[in-house]
Structure 1
Amino acid sequence: MSANGRYVYAIIATDEDKQFGPIGIGGRNDAVFTQCYQDVGAVVSSSPVIQYPVSRANTLAHQRILERVMVEHSLLPVRFGTIADDVDQIRDKVLIARYAEIRDRLTYVSDKTELGLKVLWTDMSGLFQEIVNENKEIRRIRDRLAEKKGAAQRDQVRLGEMVKKALDHKRKKMEKNILSLLLPLSVDHRKNPVFGDQMITNSAFLIFRHQEAEFDRAVNDVAEAHMTQLKFKYVGPVPPCNFVEMSIVW
């Protein structure tokens, strides 16, 4: 049987012993609590010293604990699967050794939260037709391919390149338009990779908690203005993993 260590979920600003309930990862109903040094505390639970599979159940358990802590505290998320051998290791190698760094990062996220936004085109066929209608050269190559005249393979490659370039131009233009309305309300912003032709932006915003309702309204306004062409996937508040994440190596 594996020895019990301490699974580390997050770090918060507190000098109090906090209890967050029997919600620890692993399904054993382990208590989640704080281990403090001066005015910072690691949020931990008892856990076997094992490598947790990156399964849906485990990642959701980790995420839900962060969300529970976020109800009361701004936090520094710790990477999934971080387990210390004992409380001394957390205190000495993290809370004491990295105290100044922790304080700086906690100040950065204090009273802030992360919101995520993905925006996608709803009608790709219509969008491609719009690109064809706007570009004479694309129409010419398309028509030639339809008639099966000339170097078909070369024309197919050329047509694909031109359509991709036009689509990317439209994506960037729309993304710029959307972000111009949201960035003034955020403290920081991260653009994550987009996937496929349909996605326009995959963005994370760090905002002050007191501005969350205002940011919600701004997203709703943008979504309503583009409801016939765009689909908005808006999530949050979530832990600020796009802006701060503690990577701990023992």
Structure 2
Amino acid sequence: MSQSSKYIYGIIEEPQPRKFGFFGIGEVEVYAINHQKLAAVVSDTELQEVDPTRKNVLAHTVVEDKLLKEYDLLPMGFGIVANSEDEVRSLLVKNYDSLIRELKRLAGKIEVELKVFWDQEAITQQLQDGNREFARLKAKISSASSPLEAQNLLVEAGKLVERLAMSWKTKYAEGAYNHLKKLSFDARMSNPIGVKNILNASFLIDKSKESEFQKEIYKLDSEYQGKVNFKYVGPLAPYNFIKLKLEPVK
């Protein structure tokens, strides 16, 4: 038994000891620590705290991506380190029933993320084509008598863009969310990231139907005719849909 600390990537259903044949944090081999039907997926580390560098976060993500291809996975957040193999096994023992239930509930399911952004060119074009106030401001900006006047007019124009963007949020982003939610087991909205982001959502879907889910996004993209841009990420471990609080090991 190795006495080094253990970096934990997640929990899977795997009754047999196993080396997975790929590497994790610090380019160290990833393997299973088992208890009955369960296994914690770990790699050895001499560190008590793992810095969230780009390299380390990527290594953590790559391990989870590889596991998802073969297992249902209860992922651990980045940076979870146990002091020993005994401590990892105690975690499995103490939480065994709840871990089994949660793995069963999430069996065959994955998380996917969808972000929707309003398109700068499309929103400007719509304002130019049909908004008299925008045309008036544009003309006044070009003939402004001072930099301060031009700045104030630009602020007014920005407010017009913001109002139109918010109307697109209701029409396009929320419409997409409500449609895709019907195709999911569950869905979550998160806070937008940046000015142009009008939807930041996660969906819990059937792993075997991911391609069908993607096709619905392509249909929405075609229907919205370039007004907004979609960014899809998946498959992912179901971080946002785990309903489990682990009992700590003392």
Do the structures match in fold with TM over 0.5? yes
1:193 to 179, 191, 201: 191
Deviates more, 1:139-148 or 1:17-26: 139-148
Contact between 1:76 and 1:246, CA under 8 Å: does it hold in 2?
no
1:215 to 191, 213, 216: 213
In the aligned structure 2, how far is the partner of 1:18 from the partner of 1:169?
53
* TM-score, length basis structure 1: 0.81
Other-structure match for 1:127:
123
Other-structure match for 1:85:
83
1:139-173 per-residue CA deviation (whole Å, 9 max, x = no partner) reads: 66776777769x96887766654542332122222
Other-structure match for 2:10:
10
Helix, strand or coil at the partner of 1:185: coil
Helix, strand or coil at the partner of 2:115: strand
In the aligned structure 2, how far is the partner of 1:24 from the partner of 1:87?
17
In the aligned structure 2, how far is the partner of 1:63 from the partner of 1:183?
26
1:153-211 per-residue CA deviation (whole Å, 9 max, x = no partner) reads: 88776665454233212222211222233222211112222223322322221111121
In the aligned structure 2, how far is the partner of 1:216 from the partner of 1:166?
27
Deviation at 1:235, TM superposition (A): 2.0
What is the Cα-based RMSD across aligned positions, in Å? Answer: 3.0
In the aligned structure 1, how far is the partner of 2:123 from the partner of 2:163?
13
Deviation at 1:242, TM superposition (A): 2.4
Deviation at 1:223, TM superposition (A): 2.2
Other-structure match for 2:58:
60
* TM-score, length basis structure 2: 0.81
Contact between 1:79 and 1:245, CA under 8 Å: does it hold in 2?
no
Deviates more, 1:227-236 or 1:54-63: 227-236
The amino acid of 2:15's aligned partner reads D
In the aligned structure 2, how far is the partner of 1:61 from the partner of 1:163?
40
The amino acid of 2:101's aligned partner reads D
In the aligned structure 2, how far is the partner of 1:35 from the partner of 1:8?
10
In the aligned structure 2, how far is the partner of 1:138 from the partner of 1:224?
27
Distance 1:228 1:157, change over 3 A: closer
Q: Does 1:26 align with 2:22?
A: no
Helix, strand or coil at the partner of 1:117: strand
In the aligned structure 1, how far is the partner of 2:15 from the partner of 2:6?
19
Unaligned runs of 5+ in 2: none
Contact between 1:76 and 1:245, CA under 8 Å: does it hold in 2?
no
Q: Does 1:73 align with 2:71?
A: yes
Deviates more, 1:76-85 or 1:38-47: 38-47
Q: Does 1:115 align with 2:97?
A: no
In the aligned structure 2, how far is the partner of 1:172 from the partner of 1:105?
34
Unaligned runs of 5+ in 1: none
Distance 1:22 1:208, change over 3 A: closer
Deviation at 1:12, TM superposition (A): 1.0
Alignment of 1:220-235 (within 5 A): 220-235=218-233
Helix, strand or coil at the partner of 2:173: helix
Helix, strand or coil at the partner of 2:214: helix
